[in-house]
Amino acid sequence: MTYSPSEDTFLMEGVLKKEKGSYLDMGTGSGYLAISYKRTHPEEEVWAADIDPEALQEARRNAQGLDIVFVESDLFSNISRRFEVISFNPPYLPPDGGPPDPETVDNGSFARFVKEVQEYLLPGGRAYVLINDQTPGKDLLQGWELVARKKLFFEELFVYRYIKE
C-alpha cells in the first residue's frame, strides 16, 4: 500500500512545476510526482524508482498512457544514468506514530540519498528533498538551500535544493 498524495506531495509538486529537464522521482510510491512532472513537461524523459514492487505496479497503473521509465531500486542501486532534476520525499513519519528515529522511520534512506545524489546529477542538476520539522539528521543538508516551506497545524514541511556545480 502506498502513501496517498497529501500536503507534502503537493508542496514538492509546486516546486517541480518550475523545473525542466530529465527527471527522476526517487521513492515514487503511487507515481504522483512522476506523473505530474510528465504531464507538465511532456517532452522530458521521466523515471520513477521505488524499492517496493507493489508500489511500482500501482504507479504504472496510475501512469497509463504516459511514457515513464519505472525502475525497482533501493535508492540509486539500479539507476544507470544521470538527471537534470531528482526529487525525494522520504518517509519521515514513524510508522507507529512514535518519536522519529532515523533507523526506523526511513531505514537511513534520507541520509543515503543526500550522500549519493550528487553522483546521479548532471552538471548544473538540481536535487530536491522534502523533510519535516521532526526529521532526524537535518544537519546533513549543509550546502542545500531551503526553497519552500509550509506550516501545518501538526508539523512544518521543508523542501531543500542542492545544485551540482
Residue range 77-106: average pLDDT?
73
Residue range 41-45: average pLDDT?
97
Weakest mean pLDDT among 48-57, 88-97, 102-111: 102-111
Residue range 12-35: average pLDDT?
96
69 vs 92: CA distance, rounded Å: 26
Please tell me the predicted confidence (pLDDT) of residue 110.
86
pLDDT tens, position by position, 110-143: 889 999 999 999 999 999 999 988 887 788 999 9
| Domain at 7-163, CATH homologous superfamily | Vaccinia Virus protein VP39 (3.40.50.150)
Residue range 56-82: average pLDDT?
96
Please tell me the predicted confidence (pLDDT) of residue 96.
53
The pLDDT of residue 55 is above 80:
yes
Please tell me the predicted confidence (pLDDT) of residue 67.
97
SS3 content of the chain, % helix, strand, coil (to 5): 30, 30, 40
The pLDDT of residue 65 is above 60:
yes
Give domain limits for the chain.
7-163
Residue range 89-98: average pLDDT?
63
